[in-house]
Amino acid sequence: MARRSAPLLRRLVSSPPAALGGGVARRTVTYMPRPGDGNPRAVTLIPGDGIGPLVTGAVRQVMEAMHAPVYFESYEVRGDMPTVPPAVIESIRRNKVCLKGGLATPVGGGVSSLNMQLRKELDLYASLVNCSNFPGLPTRHQDVDIVVIRENTEGEYSGLEHEVVPGVVESLKVITKFCSERIAKYAFEYAYLNNRKKVTAVHKANIMKLADGLFLESCREVASKYPGIQYNEIIVDNCCMQLVAKPEQFDVMVTPNLYGNLVANTAAGIAGGTGVMPGGNVGQDHAVFEQGASAGNVGNENILEQKKANPVALLLSSAMMLRHLQFPSFADRLETAVKRVIAEGKYRTKDLGGTSTTQEVTDAVIANLD
């Protein structure tokens, strides 16, 4: 009996896991929820201006198709409004999470930026933009995988401007120890939790010795507490040159407000375009997810009339949102479907070299959901 059983045991021990399950691969435990974690979550939705309603509509269709445990409270907000309506702020405070399309900001005169109002009102101090290559999408540089983490509430965006005398305007750049330390902590925590190897601080401390000097001092203090993560510094003008020449050298980048906007849009353009780069703004209690790079986030009249806006960036941002809400399997399904569509190359909008409409790309993503 024992001799007859030995060959069978050897076959079982040497067999791959799929064979043990009758040809079906075993699932690994990726997330162990607490009771009630599967309840649908309310998300505040701001379709926004221009192409915003198109791309947020794409997200809603995909969420419905995959039966994601979220539902939307939609509010009409336009960039030319004097302020964000109180009901919208109240909704975000209640739901903790918001998904938004682009809001147009008047250039020069006019009302102040509603994007900045949201960030300050909700203290969304960290902006995060993922800039990485996609298989099947050709770019000048390969192996680009950059995360730009930008301080979101002060710096040149403080909004402190006044005319001293006619023809002379003073604009104040505000840098504080508190805000610099917390954005540095966020960058290093992100690197640590996501197995990133390096954090680069971007600055102009050779000229703005006090303001950017304080930012660097804060980054150095935080870096000393993370000896396992490499830390370096780069002047912002050299950073831009290095980005377009050798972007693969960068990993996580932490920046003051204005530099982060420039660096994120540059990195997005290098990695494949602003239409495919996701992002979000996060604070202690709230998070707002939107297209990562601001360039082109409201589109133009031609794209709007032809309904050929690229929904990929906001779809990937909504995957980030699902992961933030602790629905990782839904986030994985959505990301996988989007990447399959990009890799296949059959359905692409004009910015990616194709002719597809927003709806055609959306339908392709839905068809690729597992």
Least confidently predicted of 25-39, 65-79, 172-186, 236-250: 25-39
CATH of the domain at 88: 3.40.718.10
The verdict on 113 and 191 lying in the same domain is no
- Dihedral, 78, 84, 87, 88 alpha carbons, nearest 10: 70
13, pLDDT greater than 60: no
H or E element at residue 199: strand 198-203
Domain identity same for 95 and 179: no
Asked whether residue 306 falls in the same domain as residue 264, the answer is no
Beta-strand (E) ranges in 225-344?
230-235, 252-255, 278-282, 287-291
pLDDT at 12: 36
Residue 87 tokens read as 């009901």
The angle that helices 52-65 and 358-367 make with each other, rounded to 10 degrees, is 20
pLDDT tens, residue by residue, 31-53: 677 887 888 999 999 999 999 99
Confidence band, pLDDT 50/70/90 cuts, at residue 28: low
For Cα atoms 124, 242, 151, give the angle at the middle one, nearest 5 degrees: 10
Same domain, 158 and 258: yes
pLDDT of residue 18: 44
CB 82 within 8 A of CB 94: no
pLDDT tens-digit map of 313-365: 999 999 999 999 999 999 999 999 999 999 999 999 999 999 999 999 999 99
Strands 145-151 and 252-255: parallel
Strands 97-100 and 161-165: unpaired
| Structural domains in the chain (count) | 2
Geometric angle at alpha carbon 85, from 99 and 286, rounded to 5°? 40
Boundary (domain end) residue, out of 271, 292, 324 = 271
Instruction: With respect to residue 5, please indicate whether it lies within any of the assigned structural domains.
Output: no
Q: Helices 114-121 & 86-95, crossing angle to 10 degrees?
A: 50
For residue range 197-234, list pLDDT tens digits in order: 999 999 999 999 999 999 999 999 999 999 999 999 99
The pTM of the full predicted model, rounded to 2 decimals, is: 0.88
Q: For the chain, how far is it from start to end, CA to CA, in angstroms?
A: 46
Q: CA separation (Å) from 101 to 14, 155, 225, 281?
A: 53, 24, 37, 13
Residues 144, 253: one domain?
A: yes
Domain identity same for 363 and 249: no
Quick one: pLDDT at residue 26?
60
The structure tokens listed for 292 are: 């990562």
Is the per-residue pLDDT at 104 higher than 50? yes
* DSSP structural state of residue 363: H
Q: What is the pLDDT of residue 25?
A: 54
Is 305 inside a domain boundary?
A: yes
What are the tokens at 190?
A: 């992100």
Contact yes or no for 24/69 (Cβ under 8 A): no
At which of 271, 287, 321 does a domain end? 271
Tell me the C-alpha distance between 73 and 330, whole Å: 20
Domain ranges, residue 144:
140-271
Structure token pair of residue 288: 């707002």
**4 within a domain of the structure (yes/no):** no
